[in-house]
Amino acid sequence: MTQSPSPHSLTGIWHGLYSYLDGRPSVSFVATLIEAGTTVSGTTYEPSDGPGEASATLYATLTGRRQGASIAFLKTYNRAGPRYFSAVAYQGMLSGDGTEIEGGWRIGGDSWGKFLMIRSAGKAETVKRKAVERA
């Protein structure tokens, strides 16, 4: 089944939450995405949940692809150390109105969970306004 292309660009600021399936607390993050053709890139920042890192902020780069409503990207932390060695693979679907991306993440075969990203309110309002102007 072929997915029809979405008219919504991913470019913008997204607020997200990822959760672990083993019951650990969810982690919030902010992502800045840039879409060019089928390529998606960007950055994220999030609070560290590691021992002794309560006030630390983690930064990562994103690289991936989009095909219609399907989005896949790798998140690579900009920090050295065994905890941040592996890239995190994300795969999700863009909602019909272009305001949410929901899916799952995986680190190798060891850890996995779910995530949800919501476009920042300002961008969502811009998308709604453009849709009304086109109608």
SS3 content of the chain, % helix, strand, coil (to 5): 15, 55, 35
First-to-last C-alpha distance (Å) of the chain: 29
Do the Cβ atoms of 127 and 99 come closer than 8 Å?
yes
Spell out the domain ranges in the chain: 12-134
pLDDT digits (tens, 9 = 90+) for 70-105: 999 999 998 755 566 678 999 999 999 999 999 999
The C-alpha atoms of residue 53 and residue 70 are separated, in whole angstroms, by 34
pLDDT grade for 5, boundaries at 50, 70 and 90 = very low
Do the Cβ atoms of 59 and 43 come closer than 8 Å?
yes
**What CATH class is the domain 12-134?**
mainly beta
* Residue with more model confidence, 123 or 15: 15
> How many CB atoms neighbour CB 63 within 10 A?
13
pLDDT digits (tens, 9 = 90+) for 24-66: 889 999 999 999 999 999 999 998 866 666 678 889 999 999 9
